Amino acid sequence: MPKLSKRLASLVSKIEDRAYEPLDAITIVKENANAKFDETIEAHARLGIDPKYTDQQLRTTVALPEGTGQTVRIAVVARGEKVAEAKAAGAELAGDDDLVETIAKGEMDFDLLIATPDMMPKVAKLGRVLGPRGLMPNPKAGTVTTDLAAAIKEFKAGKLEFRADRTGIVHVRFGKASFSADALLNNLKTLQESIDRNKPSGAKGRYWKSLYVTSTMGPSVEVDVTALQDISQEG
């Protein structure tokens, strides 16, 4: 196990080994995000699922009401007038065969890839380069669509795709340290509701095993999931 720096060790010593009330956990993470840049705030949820079974996989999207605080670079694979439509809607990159060839070479200067259905046969061939980075377009995630303008607008505004990794853990960024604690709580609550709403049909036993929030350079803090679920939407 790597040795903690004095800064991190000092921050860790202030955190008790228990699950905190959601707002308290977020407040602690914000206070510990003292790097010289605006740290990203992330949630890490360990779920009682085994993604190797198709009925226990979780892959969906969530529209964070307060946004992510990050600029999302979007590339779109389409053809004809759809290329111009994508560029007009704010996509950083848009093209047909030329963009497919660029991606195949490993040149991926984007955070999200959207494709129109008719281009998916060509995009599917990029599985080896897109798959490991989690960039393969998927209808369930809203990244395979003919309504490019709406999709680009939603993802630019804070819509995120997330999935459980092979160990059943979901990793999602849900704001910046500069966000207010209430804004971060609003985003975290929305994320929790999405994970609950999209519970895989094959999930057995205890669904939520743990939930931690952390910042880019700070230690993690455990969140009381039951308390988060009990928070009213008005709150």
Q: Which domains can be identified in the chain, with CATH numbers?
A: 18-68+159-230 (3.30.190.20), 74-151 (3.40.50.790)
- Residue 159's beta-bridge partner residues? 63
Which amino acid belongs to residue 99?
L
| Residue whose entry in the numeric block shows the structure tokens 């798959």 | 131
- Give first-to-last CA distance, the chain, whole Å: 40
The yes-or-no verdict on residue 123 having pLDDT over 90 is yes
Residue 231: the pLDDT is 86
The yes-or-no verdict on residue 28 having pLDDT over 90 is yes
Q: Is residue 220 a contact partner of residue 213, using CB atoms and an 8 Å limit?
A: yes
Q: How many CB atoms lie within 10 A of CB 97?
A: 11
Residue 232: the pLDDT is 53
The span from the CA of 14 to the CA of 8, in Å, is 10
Overall average pLDDT of the 74-94 stretch: 95
Which of left, alpha, beta for 148 (phi over 0: left; psi -120 to 50: alpha)?
Answer: alpha
Query: For 182-234, how does the pLDDT look when each residue is reduced to its tens digit (9 = 90+)?
Result: 999 999 999 999 999 999 999 989 999 999 999 998 889 999 999 999 985 44
The span from the CA of 67 to the CA of 160, in Å, is 9
Residue 7: the pLDDT is 63
Supply the angle between the helices 148-157 and 81-89 in degrees, to the nearest 10. 20
Residue 4: the pLDDT is 63
pTM for the full predicted model: 0.80
Distance of CA 18 to the CA centre of its chain: 25
Query: For 155-165, how does the pLDDT look when each residue is reduced to its tens digit (9 = 90+)?
Result: 998 898 898 99
Which amino acid belongs to residue 215?
S
Q: Is residue 216 a contact partner of residue 110, using CB atoms and an 8 Å limit?
A: no
DSSP letters spanning the chain:
-PPPPHHHHHHHTTS-SSPBPHHHHHHHHHHH--SSS-PEEEEEEEES--TTSGGG--EEEEE-TT--SSPPPEEEE--THHHHHHHHHT-SEEESHHHHHHHHTT----SEEEE-GGGHHHHHTTHHHHGGGT----GGGT-B-S-HHHHHHHHHHTEEEEEB-TTSEEEEEEEETTS-HHHHHHHHHHHHHHHHHT--TT--S-SEEEEEEEETTS--EEB-HHHHHHS-TT-
The span from the CA of 31 to the CA of 193, in Å, is 26
Of the chain, the percentage scoring pLDDT greater than 90 comes to 74
